[in-house]
Structure 1
Amino acid sequence: MLMDLSPSGFGDFARKVFHREFSSHYETIEFARKNAANFLSMANLLMGLSSILCTLNGSWQCAAWLLLIGFMLDLADGAVARQLNTCSALGAKLDDFADFTSFGLATALLLHTNSLLDALLVVVYVLAVLTRLCFYSSGIPFMYRGLPCPYASAILACASLLTGSHTVVLRAIFIIMILFMIDQGVYPHDKILESQLWKKMVFAGGVAMIVCSFYPLACLYHLVWSMSYILFPDVLWSFKV
C-alpha cells in the first residue's frame, strides 16, 4: 500500500509517529518512576553480593566498603519510594531480601577465620538478622523493635576497616550487635532524607566521604553516625518533619 503523500495524509502520519514516540517516552519515564526505589534496592543487593565475592577472594577491605555503600542505598530507597508514592509489597520484599544479603550474609562474612567458634558466631549473627527482619514488629508508628541491621553492619564494616580486621575486636562487636538486634528496645524510624535539614546534611556528608574515599575519616564518620543512632536514638534521630 502506498503512503498518502497529500498534505493531510502526511500530517496524519506525522501525528501518529509523534503520538507513538511520545507514548513510548512517557511509558519509559513512568516505568523508571515506579521502579526507582526498586533499582536502589537492587543496587544494595548487588553491593551485598559483590561484598561476599570480595570476602571469598580475600579482599576484605573492598568488602567492607561495599557494605557502607549498601548502607547509604538502604537509607535512600525507602525515602524515594515514599516521595514518589511507589511503595508496594514487592518493593518491601525486595528491600528485605537485599538487607538480608548485605547486612546479614555479607556482613557476617567479615569475621573471616577458620575457627569453629567464629563459624558459630557467624551463624548466630545471620539468624539474628533474619529474626530482626522477619519477626520483630514494634506495633508503634515510625518505630523499630530491635536495632536495625544496617546500623549493625555499618559499625562492623567501620570496625573492620579501622582495626585491620582484628579478630578479637570483631568478635566482641559481633556479640554486642547481636544483643542489640534481638533486644526488645525501640528505635525511631530513620527517615533521614525526610526529616530536618541537618540530617539530610549528615547523609550528604556520608555520600561525599565514600565518593571522595576519605579513609579513615569516612570510617570514623560512619562509625560516629551509627553509634549516635544506638546511643541517642530519641534525642537525635526521632522522626520529625
Structure 2
Amino acid sequence: MKLIPCMITIGNFICGLLAIRSLLFHDIYAAAFFIFVGMFLDFFDGMAARKLNAVSDIGKELDSFADLITFGVAPSMLAYNVALHSISFIGILCTLAFGICGVIRLSRFNIHQSDFPTFIGMPIPFAGICLVILSFMNNNNSIALALGTCGLSYLMVSKIKFPHFKRLTVENSEARRWE
C-alpha cells in the first residue's frame, strides 16, 4: 500500500515522457492529453501519500522529477513545436528559459518552501498547464507565445505568493472531520 503514491507519481512521469514522444511525431494533441493526464495524477499522488501515511523524502524527490518532465520539459517543447520554432533562436531561448526556471523553482521549493502555507513563485504544474493553454490559443502568434512563455518562466522564480490549493483542501477536510 505504501508504494501506491510512488506508482501514481511514476505514472505522472510516464505521461511526461509520452507527451515528449508524441511531440517527436508532431502529435501536439496527444502531447497535450498526456500533460493533462499527468496533472490529474500529480493532484492525487500527494493525497494518496497522506491518506496511506506514505509521505517520504523519496516520494518528494520523485514528484519533483516527474513534475520537471511533465510540466517543465513537455510543455516548453509543445510551445516550441506549435509556434516558437518559427522565431528560431529566440524560440529556443524561451523554451530553455521555461525549463531552467522550472528546475530552479522545484529546487527552491524542495529546500525552502515545502512546509510554507503558500507557494513562493508559481508552481510548475500550474505554469505548465498555462503554457499548454497559451500554446493552443497563440498557435499562429509566435511573439505572443514567446512573451507568455517568458512571463510564466519569470512567475515560477518570482517572489509572488500563490495559494497552496492542496494544503487548503487537506486543512478543510481535516476541519470538517473534527466538526
Structure with the bigger RCO (C-alpha within 8 Å, sep 6+) is 2
Partner of 1:118: 91
Stretches of structure 2 lacking an aligned partner (at least 5 in a row): none
Higher Cα Rg, which structure: 1
Q: Taking every aligned residue pair, what percent have the same amino acid on both sides?
A: 26
Stretches of structure 1 lacking an aligned partner (at least 5 in a row): 1-32, 198-238
Superposed CA offset, 1:130-150 (max 9, x none): 100002434763222110010
Instruction: State how 1:95-134 maps to structure 2 within 5 Å.
Output: 95-110=63-78, 111-112=80-81, 113=85, 115-134=88-107
Deviation at 1:163, TM superposition (A): 4.2
Deviation at 1:169, TM superposition (A): 3.1
Deviation at 1:75, TM superposition (A): 1.2
What is the rounded CA distance, in whole Å, between the counterparts of 1:64 and 1:142 in structure 2?
30
Partner of 1:83: 51
Compared with structure 1, are the counterparts of its residues 128 and 165 closer, same or farther at alpha carbon in structure 2 (3 Å cutoff)?
farther
Partner of 2:134: 159
Deviation at 1:158, TM superposition (A): 1.9
Question: How many residues are aligned here?
Answer: 168
Structure 2 residue 170 is matched with structure 1 residue 194? yes
Indicate if the aligned counterparts of 1:146 and 1:183 stay in contact, CA closer than 8 A.
yes
Q: Which structure has greater helix proportion?
A: 2
Partner of 1:170: 145
What is the rounded CA distance, in whole Å, between the counterparts of 2:153 and 2:140 in structure 1?
18
Structure 2 residue 158 is matched with structure 1 residue 183? yes
Deviation at 1:194, TM superposition (A): 3.0
Deviation at 1:166, TM superposition (A): 4.2
Residue 34 of structure 1 aligns to a residue in which SS? coil
Indicate if the aligned counterparts of 1:144 and 1:187 stay in contact, CA closer than 8 A.
yes
Instruction: State how 1:37-48 maps to structure 2 within 5 Å.
Output: 37-48=5-16
Superposed CA offset, 1:153-187 (max 9, x none): 11111222344464233212101101111111122
C-alpha RMSD of the superposition: 2.3
What is the rounded CA distance, in whole Å, between the counterparts of 2:107 and 2:140 in structure 1?
29
TM-score w.r.t. the length of structure 2 is: 0.84
What is the rounded CA distance, in whole Å, between the counterparts of 2:140 and 2:17 in structure 1?
20
Structure 2 residue 61 is matched with structure 1 residue 93? yes
Residue 162 of structure 2 aligns to a residue in which SS? strand
Match for residue 73 of structure 1 among 36, 41, 44: 41
What is the rounded CA distance, in whole Å, between the counterparts of 2:7 and 2:114 in structure 1?
28
Match for residue 63 of structure 1 among 10, 23, 31: 31
What is the rounded CA distance, in whole Å, between the counterparts of 2:162 and 2:150 in structure 1?
19
Superposed CA offset, 1:187-235 (max 9, x none): 22221653658xxxxxxxxxxxxxxxxxxxxxxxxxxxxxxxxxxxxxx
Indicate if the aligned counterparts of 1:159 and 1:165 stay in contact, CA closer than 8 A.
no
Compared with structure 1, are the counterparts of its residues 103 and 165 closer, same or farther at alpha carbon in structure 2 (3 Å cutoff)?
farther
Compared with structure 1, are the counterparts of its residues 73 and 121 closer, same or farther at alpha carbon in structure 2 (3 Å cutoff)?
same
